[in-house]
Chain A
Amino acid sequence: EPEVTQTPSHQVTQMGQEVILRCVPISNHLYFYWYRQILGQKVEFLVSFYNNEISEKSEIFDDQFSVERPDGSNFTLKIRSTKLEDSAMYFCASSGGTGRDEKLFFGSGTQLSVL
């Protein structure tokens, strides 16, 4: 089965530094998402992206966050100035459509630790 791949698997950074989390969605998918899970908490929606623009974002996705699809294969999440509370597992996902019954394909996640 095709897979969503994420790199790196672990990222350690100092508070205030910028980080970029990278994802390669499934090749024929058109819709892309970032979710995160803080340790011990629920998986939370951050942002969805289609046709080179954000289609929906949560209140978590403030000005410190940005997403980009710089080429035909990568989808990145940038955190401009990391905070301690940004420490979490970040999941990328993609889907072929946005029907309500559409299933998402998730990557294995990037564990971000902000010190």
Chain B
Amino acid sequence: AQSVAQPEDQVNVAEGNPLTVKCTYSVSGNPYLFWYVQYPNRGLQFLLKYITGDNLVKGSYGFEAEFNKSQTSFHLKKPSALVSDSALYFCAVRVRSNDYKLSFGAGTTVTVRA
């Protein structure tokens, strides 16, 4: 079975500081990994994805994520957090080519204080 884990329920950082949201995955094949963000009263929005190639992927709003196969991780990062980055972040994985579903992590609430 495929799964992702987000070990932190909450992450709190000061504005301007680096932000990291952790994600590890467990799959039997090669993973396709995604990050989604949910702002209050909004649906989940796509941030970025890793398919193949360069382990560092860049996405929306200045976010990036690093795929680490040996550590089975796909941590989300932003060098300088903004108050507007405060939201709920979900890591997700899909494996089989005919597998329609995404498996989501439990989510991490990020709070950026001014």
User: What chain B residues lie within 8 Å of A43 (beta carbons)?
Assistant: 44, 90, 92, 104, 107
Could you tell me the distance in whole angstroms from the C-beta of B108 to the nearest C-beta in chain A?
A: 12
Q: Decide: A106 and B44 in contact? CB cutoff 8 A.
A: yes
- Chain B residues, CB < 8 A from A65: none
Cβ of B49 under 8 Å from chain A: yes
A84, B29: Cα distance in complex, Å: 37
CB of A108 within 8 A of CB of B42, answer yes
Is B43 touching A100 in the complex (CB atoms < 8 A)?
A: no
Question: In the complex the two chains form, is B90's CB within 8 Å of A56's CB?
Answer: no
Interface string of B32-54 (1 = CB under 8 A from A): 10101000011111100101000
Q: Which of A12-56 contact B (CB under 8 A)?
A: 31, 33, 35, 41-45, 48, 55-56
- Residues from chain B with Cβ under 8 Å of A93 in the complex: 43-44
Number of residues of chain B lying within 8 A (CB) of chain A: 26
B30: min CB distance to chain A, Å = 9
Residue from B32, B41, B46, B100 having most chain A Cβ neighbours under 10 A: B100
B104 lies within 8 A of A56 (CB): no
Knowing A42-B106, A101-B49, A101-B51, say if A106 contacts B100 (CB, 8 Å): no
Asked, given contacts A4-B43, A91-B44, whether A104 binds B49 with beta carbons under 8 Å apart, the answer is: no
- Shortest C-beta distance, A15 to chain B (Å), equals 27
Contact of B100 among A41, A44, A98, A107 (CB under 8 A): A98
The CB with the most chain A CB atoms within 10 A, among B32, B36, B43, is that of: B43
**Among A41, A58, A106, which residue has the most Cβ atoms of chain B within 10 A?**
A106
A45-B101, A48-B101 provided; 11 other pairs, C-beta below 8 A?
A4-B43, A6-B43, A31-B100, A35-B104, A42-B104, A42-B105, A45-B103, A100-B32, A103-B49, A104-B102, A106-B36
Listed in ascending order, the chain B residues whose CB lies under 8 Å from chain A are 32, 34, 36, 41-46, 49, 51, 90, 92, 94-97, 99-107
3 smallest beta-carbon distances between A and B, as pairs? A106-B43, A45-B101, A48-B100
